[in-house]
């Protein structure tokens, strides 16, 4: 093979760009990369990261890429992730040939997989090679990925714990090294929470930055977005760049020059109130990150919990109403048989059906007020640094779905990730990355939030913190293992 070389970088444990570089150098073919990913998926089957493995599809995709690159070596240079195996989430998309079931028996045979969504087409144009679907909780309703239909998704760092949700399967697959990067969605923290559970990087982009259609863009009122769970900040920046809309809007800003000594005003929020207490080790990690950034010349401004408490509460209420009304609409429009659903799913659908139009309108009208409140916060700061999770990932079974108490379920999720919904409801970009580990070896994740279009700033700050290498991935990526 006569392909151009690419920088392999120095990310501990490797990342998707490093894997693409190895493929691009000719030392690993696309088919060999796929064979190793499939082998890793089989070897890690007990983790429950994949709910559907299509080896034939994966090999066909990889073989087609090998033929393309052999016939036209220049084609490799325009595909950022050329030949990199990846997985789609069992929610979102669709990706041609991979029929989504949303972790539920409700959708068996109902959802079309005959064509790619706009986003799926961009994944392929970037050079990714797909071979399966990752586990999601039923209709994405949980911060754990343990659908009744199976499989139960476990955390590769500690299989007794959750990998998070709803993109838990994606996070488990990346953390275990099955793939270097995986498609994910985020409507209430569903990219960031699993990434935080598994010691990974998760970016929830600004509202409208990533294509969401046809069909997936508006059914959650604009709070949902799609992107990926990554091993590195540079992978997050690269996939954001190749998947985002190329309009003249705020998302076209150039990446910040990381060599510049720009002084940013960074808001620091460490405590999350008595109703959502964050444990001491996670607070200390946020404070350590703030000190590190302060040493670079950035100004640290303490933000009191009460400044955000009302918006956090409003965001949780809005999220509950939107997901409930969405489920009620799906049941009616697709004529779904709720006897096939988990009890909690049926309860949320019933909640949505009972929701008065005036109450729904009140929630929708509250969304811009949350956005406005955050905009006012950013009058005084450039970026907000917060905890991502309040505790270590809880054990398997902590978020049961065999009951109908929607308020209890929402409260459990809020106590685990109290600041997750804020970015979805406001539409702002947010990024999580690990910044050390606790006494049990689990990640200490932080979250960075910025104004709309602030992805370059988030990525630059995250890259700076990642460079300290306070977190090292324990599992090698298939195709990059020594």
Q: What DSSP string describes 453-481?
A: T-HHHHHHHHHHHHTT-----SSPPTTT-
* Confidence bin at 480 (pLDDT 50/70/90): very high
pLDDT of the residue at 216? 54
Beta-carbon contacts of 146 under 8 Å, excluding residues fewer than 6 positions away, are 137, 152, 153, 162, 165, 396, 397, 399, 401
Predicted structure pTM score: 0.95
Peptide bond before 268: cis, by omega within 30 degrees of 0? no
Alpha helices, DSSP H only, in 335-405? 343-354, 357-377
Domains in the chain, please, with CATH?
A: 16-466 (3.90.1300.10)
| Contact call for residues 384 and 428 (beta carbons, < 8 A) | no
* Confidence bin at 262 (pLDDT 50/70/90): confident
Name 183's bridge partners. 228
Question: In this predicted model, what pLDDT tens digit does every residue of 423-476 receive, in sequence order?
Answer: 999 999 999 999 999 999 999 999 999 999 999 999 999 999 999 999 999 999
* Confidence bin at 154 (pLDDT 50/70/90): very high
pLDDT of the residue at 481? 77
Q: pLDDT at residue 247 above 60? A: no
- Dihedral angle over CA of 390, 393, 397, 403, nearest 10: 30
Question: In this predicted model, what pLDDT tens digit does every residue of 348-398 receive, in sequence order?
Answer: 999 999 999 999 899 989 999 999 999 999 999 999 999 999 999 999 999
Rounded distance between C-alpha atoms, residue 205 and residue 421, angstroms:
13
Q: Which of 81, 80, 68 is nearest to 1 (CA)?
A: 68
Rounded distance between C-alpha atoms, residue 433 and residue 449, angstroms:
12
Percent of the chain's residues with pLDDT above 90: 85
What is the end-to-end Cα distance of the chain in Å, rounded? 22
Residues 112-117: what's their mean pLDDT? 88
Q: Which residue bears the tokens 């703030």?
A: 290
Q: pLDDT at residue 163 above 60? A: yes
pLDDT of the residue at 214? 62
Helix (H, G, I), strand (E, B) or coil at 199: coil
Q: In whole numbers, what is the pLDDT of the chain averaged over residues?
A: 92
Residues 269-296: what's their mean pLDDT? 96
C-alpha distances in Å from residue 226, one per residue of 81, 162, 187, 210, 217:
17, 21, 9, 7, 9
Question: In this predicted model, what pLDDT tens digit does every residue of 31-81 receive, in sequence order?
Answer: 999 999 999 999 999 999 999 999 999 999 999 999 999 988 888 888 999
Rounded distance between C-alpha atoms, residue 308 and residue 167, angstroms:
26
DSSP 8-state assignment for residue 206: P
DSSP 8-state assignment for residue 91: S
* Confidence bin at 8 (pLDDT 50/70/90): very low
Q: pLDDT at residue 19 above 80? A: yes
pLDDT of the residue at 112? 82
Question: In this predicted model, what pLDDT tens digit does every residue of 184-215 receive, in sequence order?
Answer: 999 999 999 999 999 999 999 999 899 876 65
399-438 burial by CB neighbour count: b if 16+ within 10 A, else e? bbbeebebeebbebbbbbbbbbbbbbbbbbbbbbbbbbbb
* Main-chain phi, psi angles of 266, to 5 degrees: -105, 115
List the structure tokens of 118: 């706009």
């Amino acid at each position: 093979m006569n392909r151009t070389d690419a920088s392999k970088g120095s990310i501990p444990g490797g990342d998707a760009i490093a894997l693409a570089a190895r493929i691009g150098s000719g030392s690993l073919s696309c088919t060999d990369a796929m064979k190793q990913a499939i082998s890793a998926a089989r070897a890690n089957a007990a983790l429950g990261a994949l709910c559907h493995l299509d080896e034939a599809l994966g090999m066909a995709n990889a073989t087609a890429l090998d033929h393309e690159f052999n016939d036209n070596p220049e084609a490799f240079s325009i595909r950022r992730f050329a030949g990199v195996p990846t997985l789609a989430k069992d929610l979102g998309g669709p990706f041609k040939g991979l029929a989504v079931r949303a972790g539920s028996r409700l959708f068996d045979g109902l959802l079309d997989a005959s064509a790619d969504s706009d986003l799926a087409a961009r994944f392929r144009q970037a050079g990714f090679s797909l071979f399966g679907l990752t586990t999601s909780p039923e209709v994405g309703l949980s911060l754990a990925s343990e659908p009744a239909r199976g499989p139960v998704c476990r955390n590769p760092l500690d299989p007794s714990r959750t990998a998070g949700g709803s993109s838990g399967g994606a996070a488990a697959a990346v953390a275990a090294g099955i793939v270097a990067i995986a498609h994910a969605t985020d409507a209430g923290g569903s990219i960031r929470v699993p990434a935080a559970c598994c010691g990974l990087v998760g970016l929830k982009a600004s509202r409208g930055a990533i294509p969401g259609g046809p069909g997936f863009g508006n059914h959650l009122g604009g709070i949902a977005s799609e992107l990926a769970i990554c091993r590195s900040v540079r992978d997050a920046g690269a996939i954001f760049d190749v998947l985002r809309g190329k309009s003249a809007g705020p998302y076209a800003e150039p990446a910040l020059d990381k060599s510049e000594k720009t002084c940013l005003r960074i808001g620091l929020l460490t405590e999350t109130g008595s109703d959502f207490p964050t444990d001491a080790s996670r607070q200390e990690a946020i404070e350590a990150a703030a000190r590190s950034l302060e040493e670079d010349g950035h100004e640290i401004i303490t933000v009191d919990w009460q400044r955000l408490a009302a918006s956090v509460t409003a965001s949780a209420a809005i999220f509950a109403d939107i997901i409930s009304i969405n489920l009620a609409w799906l049941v009616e429009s697709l004529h779904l048989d709720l006897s096939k659903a988990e009890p909690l799913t049926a309860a949320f659908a019933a909640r949505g059906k009972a929701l008065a139009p005036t109450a729904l309108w009140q929630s929708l009208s509250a969304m811009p007020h949350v956005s406005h409140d955050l905009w006012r916060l950013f009058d005084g700061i450039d970026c907000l640094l917060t905890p991502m999770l309040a505790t270590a990932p809880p054990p398997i079974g902590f978020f049961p779905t065999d009951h109908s108490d929607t308020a209890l379920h929402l409260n459990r999720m809020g106590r685990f990730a109290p600041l997750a919904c804020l970015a979805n409801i406001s539409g702002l970009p947010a990024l999580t990355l690990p910044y050390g580990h606790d006494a049990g070896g689990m990640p200490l994740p932080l979250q960075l939030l910025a104004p709309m279009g602030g992805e370059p700033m988030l990525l630059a700050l995250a890259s700076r913190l990642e460079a300290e290498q306070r977190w090292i991935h324990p599992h090698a990526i298939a195709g990059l293992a020594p």
